[in-house]
Structure 1
Amino acid sequence: SFRVAWTERRYESGQLSNTEHWTAILTIVVQPPHDTERLRVNPLGIYVNAINWSREMSQ
């Protein structure tokens, strides 16, 4: 699994109105491709199996 963190900013009339920090845990699985179409689309066979995200509380 991987931890991903990002910041979301909202603007109103061109001015920053809100900033939120978020964190997600992405769980992956590897399923090697068994045909040419899957090999073309996703050659490594890496898929996100589960996502869990939450907003970080401000301090």
Structure 2
Amino acid sequence: MADQRGVFLVGALCSAVAAWFATRFLLRFFETRTLTPFAIYCVVGGGIYFVAMLVMG
């Protein structure tokens, strides 16, 4: 277990950096845009899934 400590630390650091960049991007993105395209995508995707479940039983 001790020999994997370095791998764990690198993974934790990479995930922290990725989370920071993702949060920064999303905060800036939502200052100027809305969630309307995502809402449309969810409704269309949900409709397709619903129809597929009706057809496939």
* TM-score tier (shorter): under 0.3
Higher relative contact order (CA 8 A, sep 6+): 1
Bigger strand fraction: 1
Q: Which has the larger radius of gyration?
A: 2
Bigger helix fraction: 2
Length-normalised TM-score, structure 2: 0.19
